[in-house]
Homo-oligomer: A and B are copies of this chain.
């Protein structure tokens, strides 16, 4: 009677039944149960019913660990993020999680803090846990990482980043092109003196290309580009935005519109402008980058260059699964960007 039920610490615990229990209950061999479980062929309708009944009665659920051991497939992927609490990353994660779950996989989140040794530790972990694939987001894929993942010999896709060195499929927007669009938008709105508060110019993925795109747009439209128009920050944060605006007002007070390399920078700039009594957008227009959900919450609502973050996450997850399922050639995806117009940019009539 109490087979498979035992008492521990005074409490009644129901054990997780195994395939053996089911087999016994249904009077068949475990092989048959396994076949039915995996929709293979080689059994009669009658035994199938019998087994299914037993499964139902015992409320049996196969042990994914045991399955993983033999199939060499854990239905789990690992996702590496530099930060977890940034909204940017959060939207990517939501997209990944959705697609992964739809495709029957779980996702393990790893927060690397952009720290090399932490990243390696996570990679070790993911290796030991035998994840089926890895999504690497928003950071440079260092040689060390790449080599390690190579050795793990599981699929890898880059999300919101890319590698100029290694041939790894990626999903991102064309930063240079997107920045170009943002700057062009400002120009079309009649602004002639346009500044940029950029992220880190040494960041070859999200920093430099946006600066280049910005410059290109100005140049293409016949505007000169002075260094004083572009203030570079450490990163892409709110504080960087504040600092950025301060510098901008000193170096190029004539600027009537600013392209911020991230929404957070834009928020910082707006906040600083507010403190300095500069009215936005009347005196100073600002366009952000990312179109995070907070963009609509700012005052005034922030016009922003939109990246489809959620969709990017989904896409990356789908790519990983295509690769896991043997697709040799998955193409990288340049996702479309767009401009989400709100109220932080004004038309300049002159």
Contacts and interface: CB of A to CB of B under 8 A. Distances in A.
Please tell me the size bucket of the interface on A: 35 or more
A238 B298 CA distance: 11
A128 B74 contact: no
B97 A93 contact: no
Interface in A83-115: 83-85, 87, 90-91, 93-94, 97-98, 101, 106-111
A4 interface: no
Interface in A282-324: 293-294, 296-301, 310
Nearest to A59: B151
Interface in A33-64: 59, 61-64
Contacts of A334: none
A101 B109 CA distance: 10
A61 B128 contact: yes
A25 to B, nearest CB: 18
B14 A129 contact: no
A69 B65 contact: yes
Interface centre among A9, A65, A83, by most chain B C-beta atoms within 10 angstroms, is A65
Contact of A85 (B83, B94, B106, B129): B94
Interface centre among A9, A64, A124, A152, by most chain B C-beta atoms within 10 angstroms, is A64
Contact of A296 (B110, B153, B238, B274): B238
Interface in A115-167: 122, 124-125, 127-130, 151-153
Contacts of A76: 108, 129
Interface stretch (A182-190, A217-225, A263-271): A263-271
Contacts of A97: 84, 109-111
A66 interface: yes
A235 interface: no
Contact of A109 (B63, B65, B107): B107
Contacts of A64: 128-130
A238 B297 contact: yes
A236 to B, nearest CB: 13
A328 interface: yes
A85 B87 contact: yes
Contacts of A122: 101
Interface in A7-44: 9, 13-14, 16
A111 B85 contact: no
Contacts of A274: 299-300
Given A85-B93, A97-B110, A264-B297, 8 more contacts: A13-B153, A61-B124, A61-B127, A84-B90, A98-B111, A101-B122, A107-B109, A299-B299
Interface of A: 9, 13-14, 16, 59, 61-66, 68-69, 74, 76, 83-85, 87, 90-91, 93-94, 97-98, 101, 106-111, 122, 124-125, 127-130, 151-153, 238, 264, 267-268, 270-271, 274, 293-294, 296-301, 310, 328
24 contacts: A9-B328, A14-B151, A59-B151, A61-B127, A62-B128, A63-B69, A63-B128, A64-B128, A64-B130, A65-B130, A76-B129, A83-B94, A84-B90, A84-B93, A84-B94, A85-B87, A85-B93, A85-B94, A87-B90, A94-B111, A97-B111, A101-B111, A109-B109, A299-B299
